[in-house]
Structure 1
Amino acid sequence: MLIREATPGDWPAIWPFLHRIVAAGDTYTWPRDVSEEQARALWIPQPPSRTFVAVDPDGTVLGSAKVNPNHMGPASHIAGASFMVDPEHAGRGVGRALGEFAVEWARAEGYRAMQFNAVVETNTRAVALWRSLGFEVLATLPEGFRHPEKGYVGLHIMYRRL
């Protein structure tokens, strides 16, 4: 798989799985009914943020990631990141590849650490993946996320030095 910077032409491939993931309401803190216009603005922000896609050899978009300054001003050296893998391509290492790429890209850009502000504790696959890539749970906001099936669950803040 190839990971590259997203182009405007990638959005039609990203939107269907992004919409499906957000609408499920079990992993993202976005409004479940987010409009395409709102989602595009959130997922493809202006520089210095960057959005990437993972594509297979035939060009099919398998997943996407965005990396951005997590804070402004004197804390802008801390990166934030978000990841979405098309559920039809889950289990193929796309999330791991995007995670490794994002960490290396942020390090090369001069970020000193990466922080995830909102990892739903019941998203055990994501939590395990981020732990395996060197992230630790700094804190958990009890009942910080309203899961559609499990009710109020914790929201992890995860961190890794770069």
Structure 2
Amino acid sequence: MSHRSSSLVRRAVLAAVAVLACSAASAQKAALVQPAFGPGITPYQSNQLYNPSASICPNSFYCQIAFPPVPAGKRLVVTHASATYSVTQTGTEEIVSIGASLFDTMDLPAAVYVGTLRYVASSPITYYFEPGQTPYVFITGSSVLTNNTGHASIVGYLVPAS
């Protein structure tokens, strides 16, 4: 075999190895996920229609909407949260979040104005609540109207706590 043909063969082999290495490096590994159905997995949805009383909205800067505590032996995986609320005409900076306490939350994207001082915040989210924890949707801001009925929902599933 001539020097030139062996050089071409070497280049072809190196190119093939490079293509294989690139495709192996970019191959996706399977995600480790748990299906949201099957034995031990229970769909969960809770809706709270609330009248902003002093216990729910103690002032115009803060509302906390409580949901039923997570049952013993279960973990709640929240996959979607939403809230509808009203603000004054000068209201700014309202933030909707979900969590077990006001200082342990995850914010939803900015709410959308739907008219007549009403806003809706709604988003997919992943948040975990352990057995016995009370899920909350929080609305914090500068001018939440405390005399208009609001609505909050969380959706997800219950799995065995490990």
Q: TM-score, normalised by structure 2?
A: 0.30
Larger Rg: 2
Larger strand fraction of residues: 2
TM-score normalised to the size of structure 1? 0.30
Bigger RCO (CA 8 Å, 6+ sep):
2
| Structure with the larger helix share | 1
